[in-house]
């Protein structure tokens, strides 16, 4: 049996299902490129039949990802599988992942079918998917609560129908490691054609056991783990990719298993997903949390200073966490910035040096000293700017104080016009928002969530504002970054408004297509 563990990342499918607002195509592409650099084997890009937006996202990712295999999800229905085949056909290599529920409660209460009927649907789905590709994965939804006899039966049937991968999900995070490992062991002992397929597992974290269950499964012969960055996903989330990858790397001496993960990309990928998905990582999160490599106890600090591995079983550098050691100021030249970006692991085509250097000088004039996390933040926020923007902030001035009514003056570019507006509010940020919404003339827009975070340390840290706005029944996520909180909040709002504009534009194009115009 191979010692190689395939990592199947479902951040863009299962992970996105947990978000308050959907990601844009460009944001999904950013995550997909990061996953490719990270070294994941399969990227589950979405659920193409679920919406036109998801279809387009899957197709865009399939077109541009070259080194990872791109996958789409489909129910055991021909229309779902056809949507997957159409979206993925532009890929160099792709997989169709079809599934149906197999537990008694799902079969009787949700599907309202017999076990035999479900098995027939599963076989038909696999055979239909094989018309598009020979790389077909079949999942027994809620396998953790499926009777073992039926699980063995449907696994054998799906393999005979042509499935190359069989996924055994603990969909509701119900099983314990011993129990789940026993299920995998039983499948290997009782399914006669089990050697013709790769056994995969997809564990949820409802009881906090997703990583432990996944580990138990690979110890019993599973060779693919389905996971997400930062463990995001439905309810309590999924098996965290960074945790399972570093367990297998750190304890290779015990487990004898390897992955293709470039662990030096873990921290950067975690931050990207956290920012784009508006889901902060808890400080005590394993591997990527802010405290993962910090030591407060005097005894621990003394030990680490004497020998780092007294209290660190892996180094911060092994997951891409770099210490700030370079003093970057407005006097630093372009070559220093380029050199530092290379040290951080970026290639020349990962950033626009001219734009980055201009942004760096502007930030250095405000902060005095710029750190590594500042540079990465500048690259991140440059990458998520819309290539086609309807709204652009040209000027902002906000004022507030004791016995002063908060007010804001904004000048906006709207299309080809530049318009100025003044407004008041209960605070300077609300005043700026009122001015922007007045000048853009956007109606039916509601701010439903607002979060303020700091990127960096100390009083001059960068402010990051993450917000969610609702427009015409849809939710849009926006982020903004600045040394000034009001400016960061305004940048986030403008980002959202540009996305609403693009959504309206797409809807208009669809209506014109339907009308035959």
Kindly list the averaged pLDDT for each block of 10 residues, start to end, along the chain of length 517.
Answer: 95 90 87 96 97 92 95 98 97 96 96 97 98 98 98 98 98 98 98 98 98 98 98 96 98 97 95 89 91 68 69 87 65 84 79 88 78 71 60 92 90 92 93 92 87 73 86 83 90 88 72 63
- Whether 31 contacts 11, CB under 8 Å: yes
- φ, ψ for residue 321 (rounded to 5)? -95, 115
Cβ atoms within 10 A of the Cβ of 405, count? Answer: 11
Largest CA distance in the chain: 81
**Which tokens belong to 105?**
């409660």
pLDDT for the residue numbered 323: 58
pLDDT for the residue numbered 325: 46
- Whether 465 contacts 479, CB under 8 Å: yes
What is the rounded CA–CA span in Å between residue 478 and residue 488? 11
Give the DSSP H or E segment for 215: helix 210-219
pLDDT for the residue numbered 301: 57
pLDDT for the residue numbered 385: 52
Pairing state between β 474-482 and 462-471: antiparallel
- φ, ψ for residue 465 (rounded to 5)? -105, 130
pLDDT for the residue numbered 444: 81
DSSP 281: P
CB-hemisphere CA count at 13 Å for 164?
Answer: 10
What's the distance, Cα to Cα, between the start and end of the chain in Å? 58
pLDDT for the residue numbered 382: 65
pLDDT for the residue numbered 58: 96
- Whether 307 contacts 326, CB under 8 Å: no
């Amino acid at each position: 049996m191979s010692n190689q563990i395939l990592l199947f990342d479902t951040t863009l499918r299962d992970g996105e299902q947990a978000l308050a607002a959907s990601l844009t195509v460009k944001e999904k592409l950013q995550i997909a490129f990061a996953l490719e650099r990270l070294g994941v084997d399969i990227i589950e890009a979405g659920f193409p039949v679920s919406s036109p937006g998801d279809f387009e996202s899957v197709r865009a990712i399939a077109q541009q990802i070259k080194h990872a295999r791109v996958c789409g999800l489909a129910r055991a229905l021909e229309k779902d599988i056809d949507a997957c085949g159409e979206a993925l056909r532009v890929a160099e290599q792709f997989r169709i992942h079809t599934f149906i529920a197999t537990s008694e409660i799902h079969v009787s209460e949700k599907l309202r079918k017999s076990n035999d009927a479900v098995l027939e649907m599963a076989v038909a789905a696999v055979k239909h998917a094989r018309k598009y590709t020979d790389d077909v994965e079949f999942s027994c939804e809620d396998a953790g609560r499926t009777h073992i006899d039926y699980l063995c039966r449907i696994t054998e049937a799906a393999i005979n129908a042509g499935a190359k991968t069989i996924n055994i999900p603990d969909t509701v995070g119900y099983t314990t490691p011993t129990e789940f490992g026993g299920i995998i062991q039983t499948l290997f002992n009782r399914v006669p054609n089990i050697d013709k397929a790769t056994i995969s597992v997809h564990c949820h974290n409802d009881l906090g056991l997703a990583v432990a269950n996944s580990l138990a499964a690979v110890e019993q012969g599973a060779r693919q783990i389905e996971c997400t960055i930062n463990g995001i996903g439905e309810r309590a989330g999924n098996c965290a990719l960074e945790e399972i990858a570093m367990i297998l790397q750190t304890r290779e001496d015990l487990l004898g298993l390897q992955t293709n993960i470039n662990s030096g990309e873990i921290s950067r990928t975690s931050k990207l997903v956290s920012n784009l998905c508006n889901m902060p990582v808890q400080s005590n999160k394993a591997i990527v949390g802010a405290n993962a490599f910090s030591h407060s106890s005097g005894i621990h600090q003394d030990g680490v200073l004497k020998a780092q591995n007294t209290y660190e079983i892996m180094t911060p550098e092994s997951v891409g966490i770099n210490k700030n050691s370079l003093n970057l100021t407005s006097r630093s030249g372009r070559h220093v910035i380029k050199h530092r970006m290379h040290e951080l692991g970026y290639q020349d085509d990962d950033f626009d040096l001219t734009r980055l250097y201009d942004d760096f000088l502007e930030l250095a004039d405000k902060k005095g000293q710029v750190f590594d996390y500042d540079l990465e933040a500048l690259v991140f926020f440059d990458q998520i700017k819309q290539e086609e923007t309807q709204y652009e902030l040209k000027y902002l001035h906000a004022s507030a104080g004791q016995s002063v009514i908060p007010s804001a003056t904004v000048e906006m570019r709207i299309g080809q016009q530049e318009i100025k507006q003044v407004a008041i509010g209960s605070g300077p940020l609300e005043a700026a928002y009122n001015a922007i919404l007045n000048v853009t003339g956007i109606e039916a827009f509601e701010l439903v969530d607002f979060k303020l975070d700091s990127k960096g340390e100390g009083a001059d840290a960068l402010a990051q504002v993450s917000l969610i706005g609702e427009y015409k029944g849809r939710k849009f996520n926006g982020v903004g970054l600045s040394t000034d909180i009001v400016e960061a909040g305004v940048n986030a709002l403008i980002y959202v408004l540009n996305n609403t504009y693009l959504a309206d534009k797409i809807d208009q194009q669809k209506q014109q297509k339907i009308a035959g115009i």
